Amino acid sequence: MSIRSDPDVSLTANGFDVDRSAGRLGDLESANDLLGDPRALRATMQERGYLFFRKLIDPTIVSEARLEVLGKYAVLGEIDDRHPIDDGIAGDGEAVSAVNLRAFSESIRSGYWYRRVTDGPEVLGVAGDLLDGVVQIFAMRWPRFVRPGEGCGFHCDGPYMNRGTDRIFSAWIPLGDVTPTEGALMVLENSHRSERLLSGYLRADADRDGLQWLDDDPVSVQEQYGDRWLTADFEAGDVLFFGMHTLHGAFDNRSPVGRCRLSSDTRYQRADEPADPRWNGADFEGHGGSRVFYPGLGRWNNADFQDEWKDVDDRGRIVLREETDRDRH
């Protein structure tokens, strides 16, 4: 494949090596030539299970969003501002346990430039073409700050999003350049056609059925559900859309310079179809309880590393769970 990732830094996902050979790892194919042709966009999404656009959004808009978000993480010490903030170099995160994480997380999701990216005409336009009607974005938005050493398990979005309709598309948007060694997204080619997923996992409801990540091992996932892993050297302005049945995850962030990966995932559906109450409405319920979306910080060696949602008290401050046997190993 053509990714620029440093050949000396091995690519891993969830700590497992990812095989770089041509039969195992390939490039996402650009769909830029289909922009403005809704029928072709729909047909190609059905065929590929994803649509990848280079520079769908003006990179200067994405850069504004990046600075807006990283500046807020710097306040928590999560970014080391002895380097330029835009470099996204990880800090010690000392303030995380002391602040109101609920208010912090809301401030990221409601930021002007962040919303300009996720709710802008470029992304809504493609979503509208894909869904052939007026679309709305899910009220919940998932900005992700992924520190060196962190990643994301393999899953499909369907079981997490489908209590309203299953006609939903996710958009994964890098907020800045993101190479595979820095934790780029990876989608499994042809997984959206996997009978095995369609007849089992994809019928589940993540919350009612207590789903964990489907798997951690990129090779075993590949052998069971699809073909090559597909990825890219993502650049500011790029957008990757995929459907609820497309299996995906992320490379571990192994940045040799300690750079954090910043990205966003958001979901879009038709405005005239029922919406999943977990993520929609004024006071959406999420995964229940008093929790805040704040993935990562595995070095705290806490069960929350397995979980992207942190328990918080009534002032929004993190409540760490008891360390479990599993965390210790």
Ligand X SMILES: O=C(O)CCC(=O)C(=O)O
Residue 215 touching ligand X (CB under 6 A): no
Which one, 287 or 317, has the nearer CB to ligand X?
Answer: 287
Contact pattern for ligand X over residues 29 through 68, marking x by CB under 6 A: ----------------------------------------
- Give the DSSP per-residue string, 96-125: GGTS-HHHHHHHHHT-HHHHHHHTSHHHHH
Residues in 179-208 at the binding interface with ligand X, rule: CB under 6 A: 185
Strands in the chain per DSSP E? 12-13, 16-17, 25-27, 50-53, 135-137, 142-146, 152-155, 168-174, 185-188, 229-231, 239-243, 248-250, 261-270, 291-293, 309-311
Nearest approach, Cβ of residue 313 and ligand X (Å): 27
Residues in 267-286 at the binding interface with ligand X, rule: CB under 6 A: none
Distances (CA, A) of 83 to 40, 236, 237, 259, 298: 45, 20, 24, 11, 23
Among all residues, whose Cβ is closest to ligand X? Answer: 265
Residues 6+ apart with CB under 8 A from 214: 153, 154, 155, 156, 201, 221, 247
Nearest approach, Cβ of residue 115 and ligand X (Å): 17
Contact with ligand X (CB under 6 A) among 172, 225, 241, 294: 172
Instruction: State the first-to-last Cα distance of the chain, in angstroms, to the nearest integer.
Output: 35
Nearest approach, Cβ of residue 263 and ligand X (Å): 5
Which one, 104 or 138, has the nearer CB to ligand X?
Answer: 138
Nearest approach, Cβ of residue 266 and ligand X (Å): 8
CA dihedral 90, 308, 98, 70 (to 10 degrees): 40
Which one, 117 or 250, has the nearer CB to ligand X?
Answer: 250
Contact with ligand X (CB under 6 A) among 265, 269, 275, 292: 265
Would you tell me the crossing angle of helices 121-131 and 38-48 to the nearest 10 degrees? 80
Interface with ligand X (CB under 6 A), residue total 10
Residues in 125-164 at the binding interface with ligand X, rule: CB under 6 A: 144, 152, 157
Which one, 116 or 248, has the nearer CB to ligand X?
Answer: 248
What three-state secondary structure class fits 10?
coil
- Give the DSSP per-residue string, 190-213: TGGG-HHHHHTGGGS-TTTTT---
Nearest approach, Cβ of residue 328 and ligand X (Å): 25
Residue 263 touching ligand X (CB under 6 A): yes
Nearest approach, Cβ of residue 184 and ligand X (Å): 9
Residues in 232-251 at the binding interface with ligand X, rule: CB under 6 A: 248, 250
Q: In whole angstroms, what is the distance from residue 267 CA to residue 241 CA?
A: 9
Which one, 153 or 316, has the nearer CB to ligand X?
Answer: 153
Which residues here bind ligand X, judged by CB under 6 A?
144, 152, 157, 170, 172, 185, 248, 250, 263, 265
